[in-house]
Structure 1
Amino acid sequence: MYSVVQFVHSYWAYLVLIVLVIATVNALSKFFGKKEYGGKDMSLALFTLITMHIQLLIGLVLWFVSPNGLQAIKANGMGGLSSQARQLAVEHPFLMIIAVVLVTVGYSKHKKQRLSTPKFKKIAIFYTLALIAVLAIIPWSQWF
């Protein structure tokens, strides 16, 4: 089960990253370009939210079944983890949860706005912060 969940988590991450980049660039360009908010913008923001939440669920399952997650903490304690093990068991999940929260808050706040510019502003701010968090904590050595 572990290898299947890890495989899905690893490859779904590419989709999440691509969609998050597209949604962020879309919001930033339309905010600065003073464009009108439309149905495609709503769909893109929602699809980003959905892919992030699915990745979170897959990641939580992985954290519980992986030897690098909860099992590593149980076996070694927090003080016994190497820096790489700590990153996989603690830092990566924590910062990714923060990124999902940022996307969720940004999506929720943008829905409350009536005008296009404030809608794009909310998405741009929160999705950009989420993108920075995701890029900062991706285990790049395992990706390439």
Structure 2
Amino acid sequence: MADGDKQAYVDDMVRRRGYVLPYHKAMAEVDLPVLKAADDLVSAAYLSQRTLDHRTKELLFVLSLTVLKAERHHIASHIRTALRIGVSPQEILEAIEIALPEAGVVAFQHGFDVWREVVGVTGVEPSAGVLPRP
């Protein structure tokens, strides 16, 4: 397969999805037909307009990837996509918080840490003198 075909396909993925993952790039290089087949499935379930709107699908992706403790860059890509299409940081956080009762604190913290980094939340530091002395 020509390198131009591979590049064109990756560029098209970015236009359609708004992102491309490291495995997409590598698969384009080594096995474009399988990447295309996998992408067709994602297009049918995720990219095609059906009953659920794009905002809802992104929130579901963020939640499901959080529960699965997916790689940080994968969760971050869906958080950034959600923000780009108008989902508020608070809405994304509330989706991640749904992981607490079903998947537990560890899964929640994983997704929360990614969310915190993407949206730039630093937190509230304890006041000076509050920490116990060694």
**TM-score, normalised by the number of residues in structure 1:** 0.26
Decide which structure has greater helix share.
1
- Greater RCO, 1 or 2 (C-alpha within 8 Å, sep 6+): 1
- Of structures 1 and 2, the larger Rg is shown by 2
TM-score, L = length of structure 2: 0.27
